Amino acid sequence: MTVKGALPGGALGVETVGMTMRFGGFTALDGVSIAVAPGSFHALLGENGAGKSTLVKCMMGFYRATSGQLMVGGREVEVPDPRAAHAHGLGMVYQHFTLVPSLTAAENLVISRDDAPRVIDWRAERVALAEFMGRMPFAVPLDQPVRALSAGEKQKLEILKQLYLGRRFLILDEPTSVLTPDEADEVLGHVKALCAAGQITVLMITHKFREVTAYADTVSVLRRGALVGTGAVAELTHDAMARMMMGDARLADPAPRTGTPGAPVLSVNGVRASDRSGLKDIAIDGLTVRAGEIVGIAGISGNGQMELMEVLTGQRPLAAGEVLVKGAPYDATREEARIRCVRYLPEEPLHNACAARMSVTENIAFRTFDLNGKGTRFWLSGREMRARAADLVAAFKVKTASLDSPMASLSGGNVQRAVLARELTGDVDLLVISNPCFGLDFTAVAEIRARIMAARNAGAAVLLMSEDLDEIIELADRVLVMSEGRIAYDRPAAEADRAEIGHHMGGHA
């Protein structure tokens, strides 16, 4: 496959040659050569830390590669900074939106231009924008503030912005992670059509095989900084792609599910509470989690999951209703949580469950520092804290330089292991979890899911909120969907249908 020049429609061909990036003694990218033909839709697969972000940051000029070249349109170019990359027609769409929420779509487009004048002639700009939108295969409302747009519309606007800025090679960094499946299909469908028309070339970072198969023409797989496979998507199965991503690493098989659900442990009845903005409310009419059962709540973030977590941890006052644990009202005080064996695993554990500057030992002691054998204690015991931390670090295989190291010096997977070590020891009757595997690599994910399943098999009631639908489907006995602060869907896992779940996540069902 040769990559030369550009298509008449404008799409650019881009090629990296022997791209290498070293940070000190660590090689993040090792001689990666990827060729993306003009007008093609190329997917870039890899685990966390495989070097995908490093590669695109080198291409966009955020990093200067240690060695290697970038060819754009068949010619070698230098990209010392993002501005230079933009000048060559390279643009990037990020995982999270980079639009100004309070400005309209039109304003966002115009101010993003490098040559935006000091005084903007809006009448002329509007005419130009209308002309531009007329050439585009899809549109977004131009005169509404961006905050009023749906996630899908925002992502479409991000792509329109790149086209408006004259970019002809787009790097999309997990562009669908904040979209519902339906929105993702729509956005990627449009992107593919633009590629097919020869207007743009796309390099998309993703971890969703389904999107690769449905939209990409070619795929490259990175592992530990090296290119381990590349080829036409039509010739590769999901299994083959997974094997390339994983290498020889053997994943633990999904943990077996044993036992049947018992008595209800958590009941949320008629709960009303205001959401973050204070403008909407969340309403959970009846949510029951039984012993030995994982109830999974799927949903796009921002639909009330965070507020539900706060209700269950006692941080959000209830306007009405009640939360019962083991049949008695529950206010989530430390004492109640201890006596009824309730544990929490909030999302982003370093930010929500740890003190980053305190040591690993101290962080592991958060749950038990005020307990001795029978009741509570007043005097701290440093020796007991340290002994307990040493045991748990060994038992949960937390990799840390030292027990005295600050929690922030651990990698994401090891922070989560340390938190699991703290929360999953002793008797656990109710476990409330939010996005436990976000941002972790395959091995950590498999291990953490196995621990959650083990807690369920041992008789704990588990409430699992996750934005990762695959995680819910793998782990849950019952699948719920949360949308607009309400439970919109409730099925046993065996009857759950992915498409139907997707529709409910989007709120149109």
Partner 1 sequence: MATVDQIGTSGRRSLLSPEGWLAALARRSEAVVIPVGALLAGLLVFGLFLLTQGKSPAEFYALVYKAGFGTSFSWQNTLSRTAPLLFAALCVALPARLGLVVIGGEGAIVLGGVACGALAGAVSGMPGALGIPLMALAGGLAGAVWIGAVGALRHFRGVNETIASLLMAYIAIALMNHLVEGPLRDPASLNKPSTAPLADQLRIGDIPGWDVHWGLALGIVACLLSWVLIERTTWGFAARIAGGNVRAAQVQGLPVGRLIVGFTALGGAFAGLAGVFEVAAVHGAANASLATGYGYTGILVAFLARHNPLAIIPVAVLLAGFEASSGLIQRRMDLPDATVLVLQGFVFVAILLSETLYGRLKIFAPERWGERA
Residues that bind partner 1 (CB under 8 A): 24-26, 313-315, 332-338, 344, 346, 351-358, 362, 365-367, 369-370, 376-380, 393-394, 399-406, 408-411, 414
Q: Considering the complex, state which of residue 410 and residue 488 has its C-beta at the smaller distance from partner 1.
A: 410
CB of 433 to partner 1, least distance (A): 12
Strand-pairing partners, residue 27, are 22
State the minimum distance, in angstroms, from the CB of residue 96 to partner 1. 21
Least CB distance to partner 1 at residue 457 (A): 25
Supply the minimum distance, in Å, between the C-beta of residue 289 and partner 1.
18
Q: How many CB atoms lie within 10 A of CB 10?
A: 20
- Beta strand 478-483 with 486-492 is antiparallel
Whether residue 133 contacts residue 139, with contact meaning beta carbons closer than 8 Å, is answered with: yes
Residues 6+ apart with CB under 8 A from 135: none
Least distance (Å) between residue 313 CB and partner 1: 5
**Which residue, 341 or 509, is less far from partner 1 as judged by CB?**
341
Task: Indicate the residue among 255 and 430 with the shorter CB distance to partner 1.
Answer: 430
Q: Which is nearer to partner 1, 336 or 474 (CB)?
A: 336
Residues 6+ apart with CB under 8 A from 337: 343
- Classify residue 375 by its DSSP letter: S
> At residue 379, what are phi and psi to the nearest 5 degrees?
-90, 135
Strands ordered across the beta sheet of 461-465: 328-329, 320-325, 264-274, 281-290, 486-492, 478-483, 293-298, 461-465, 430-434, 342-345
Tell me the closest approach of the beta carbon of residue 29 to partner 1, in angstroms. Answer: 16
Residues in Cβ contact with 478 at an 8 Å cutoff, skipping those fewer than 6 apart: 293, 294, 295, 296, 490, 491, 492, 493
State how far the Cα of 354 lies from the Cα of 484, in Å rounded to an integer: 29
**Nearer CB in complex with partner 1: 223/422:** 422
Q: Can you give the length of the chain in residues?
A: 509
Which contiguous run of DSSP H or E holds residue 88?
none
Shortest distance, CB of residue 61 to partner 1, whole angstroms?
24
Cβ closest to partner 1, residue 369 vs residue 442: 369
Task: Choose between 170 and 462: whose C-beta lies nearer to partner 1.
Answer: 462
Minimum distance from residue 323 beta carbon to partner 1 (Å): 14
Minimum distance between the CB of residue 251 and partner 1, rounded to whole angstroms?
20
Least distance CB 355 / partner 1 (angstroms) = 3
Of residues 196 and 390, the one with the C-beta less far from partner 1: 390
The answer to whether residues 227 and 221 touch, using CB atoms and an 8 Å cutoff, is: yes
Residue 96 or 334 having the CB closest to partner 1: 334
Q: State the DSSP string of 437-480.
A: TTT--HHHHHHHHHHHHHHHHTT-EEEEE-S-HHHHHHH-SEEE
Q: How many CB atoms lie within 10 A of CB 478?
A: 21
Q: Which is nearer to partner 1, 81 or 427 (CB)?
A: 427
322-to-265, 267, 278, 306, 325 alpha-carbon distances in Å: 14, 8, 20, 18, 10
